[in-house]
Amino acid sequence: MAVLKIARLGSPVLRQIAAPVEPDTIGKRVFQQFLDDLLDTMVETDGIGLAAPQVSRSEQVVVMECKGEHGFPQTILINPVIVGYSPATAESWEGCLSVDNLRGKVRRPVGVRVTYLDRDGKSVELDAAGLYAVCIQHELDHLIGKLFLDRMTDFSTLTHLEEFDKYRRAEHAEVI
């Protein structure tokens, strides 16, 4: 198990377009170890999603998992592409391991269809809704050099985590 260092807001890697992963590297031990390290890092930092650029590796790789009633299963997306969006949108709170201690409201489609390669290099097409869809969109933004801050339209919702926790208890909102 290796916990990787999280790149923070201001790190140039977070603003780069990530390179696709060569499919013939997916089965290699070193790449599989990187996937495990990403998962370990996500868990150890209390995240529900983590993209490779967030650990200073500009590759199209995302890991996700959210346990609980409104959660979603462990998902590894390599070279992901969103191929469809729900016409309906919703605003929800987002946070980011690379943007320490801040939360803000972002409006996103409530559903997506995404294609990607899984950790075995197999092609997958997935329909996701709710928090799962929001997390996919959030993490795939990292692959094109965007942060949730770039998607915010009302910066009056930008909130320090300590204040957000007080507000959230009153509101009972979900956050990624």
- What six digits make up the tokens of 62? 């995302």
Terminal CA-CA length for the chain: 24
Active site amino acids: 139
Enumerate residues 6+ apart whose C-beta is below 8 A from 11: 56, 98
H helix intervals, the chain: 29-44, 130-142, 148-151, 161-171
Q: Tokens 């890991």 identify what position? A: 63
Using the 8-state DSSP alphabet, how is residue 19 labeled? Answer: B
- Please give the Cα distance from 97 to 48 (Å, whole number): 10
> What is the 8-class DSSP label of residue 59?
B
Tokens 């790149």 appear where?
7
Supply 32's token pair: 């599989």
